[in-house]
Amino acid sequence: MSQMLSPITLRGLTMKNRLVLSPLCQYSARHGMPNDWHFANLARYAMGGFGTVTVEAAAVTPEGRISYGDIGLWKDEQIAPLARIARFIQSQGAAASIQIAHAGRKGSTPVWWRGGFNETEAEKAEAAFEEWQPIGPGEEAIGPVDTGFKQPRAMTHADIDAVRDAFVASAKRADAAGFDVLELHSAHGYLLNQFLSPIANTRTDEYGGSFENRMRFPLSVFEAVRAVWPEDKPMFVRISAVDGVEGGVTLEDSVEYAKRLKALGADMVVCSSGGMVGARFELGPLYQVPLAEGVRKGADVATMAVGLITTPEEGEEIIASGRADMIALGRIAMDDPNWPLHARMALGGVEDPYAEWPVQEGFAVRNKDRTLKQRGFADELAPRG
């Protein structure tokens, strides 16, 4: 039996396998409202066999969006369209997860595929274009303002308290929408990661300076959210385990952060990296898996591996060897939304590799493979002795 495709139980939730759809920003919302694109896009991954499907980063405040196209969870009107998505994910046997986030100084940046603020007036009207001044640990912009980044306003103590309260309110809405898992975004150069990193956090008060101080705000957000998130529902935290910039967050820092998160009730630490301008990584297959392995061993906490995991055999080795407890797929899932179903075929060891397909489709795929002598029927081509 495949370890990657085996169930995992966290608190009161059993997920049918260890495969998770990463939160994939679509930049396709108007005024923070999820729409039919979000439903259709996420539905295909639930139908494709993922054990957990994660809705993209939902901003906890309007100015917490990365771009004007982000979804949000800052008002009650956003609950119903997200509840529709969660219900369908669950109807396919998957756990419904949602990531809540605040972009901080990376807010109000261009939609990434446009490469800049080059919308025509007609496009602005159609997409509900908005701009605003972001907030962050300090007044330093993440990058040159002439490339689309904006000058942030340094957060006051009142801002810090208000944003923490916004995370709490969004978590309550996520529960009201019926989600099974909540993921706190503390990675990729967004607000909580900005407070953690000395590259972005140059404050001189109790929220800056030492790593102990830089952890103060992110840990307080997690603790406040965990207090209102139901006890029987797991909570994940996505971190950038290393900044990839000289003088930035190190793996040793992240091990300590993960220890604190675990003590406060985190069930899974999702180990990604980067997010600061100037980050450098040697990209390639499994390039971030050592981070999940390092945090898992150093902090004695369950971890999720991410980053260019592309084949079922790679995923199986990660789980079977104990390098991580779960696997998140992003770009490979976009390329093949049925990746988990195809992994069942590739890895074998199951009585009926077609059983996980949606009933409306599985019989047709089975018959197609039988006719062509493919996958589960390929052995019928073997010589008979």
As annotated, the active-site residues are 190
Tokens of 151: 């000058």
The dihedral formed by the CA atoms of 68, 70, 71 and 73, expressed in degrees to the nearest 10: -80
Token pair listed for 90: 């669950």
For residue 34, which of 91, 64, 72 has the smallest C-alpha distance? 72
Q: What is the C-alpha to C-alpha distance for residues 236 and 99, in angstroms, rounded to an integer?
A: 9
**Quick one: which of 188, 192, 150, 187 has its CA closest to 167?**
192
CB-based contact 321:13 (threshold 8 Å): no
Q: How far apart are CA 139 and CA 118, in angstroms?
A: 25
Q: In whole angstroms, what is the distance from residue 175 CA to residue 229 CA?
A: 7
Q: Cα separation of 154 and 139, whole Å?
A: 5
Alpha carbon distance 328, 54 (integer Å): 10
- Using CB atoms within 10 A of its CB, is residue 257 exposed (0-12), middle (13-18) or buried (19+)? buried
Beta-bridge mates of residue 186: 239
Q: CA 277, 193, 258, 99 torsion: positive or negative?
A: negative
β-pair partners for 53? 21, 96
- Residue whose entry in the numeric block shows the structure tokens 């099974």: 180
Q: Cα(142)–Cα(149) distance, rounded to whole angstroms?
A: 7
> What is the token pair recorded at 242?
């290393």
Three-state secondary-structure class, residue 9 = strand
**Cα(291)–Cα(322) distance, rounded to whole angstroms?**
13
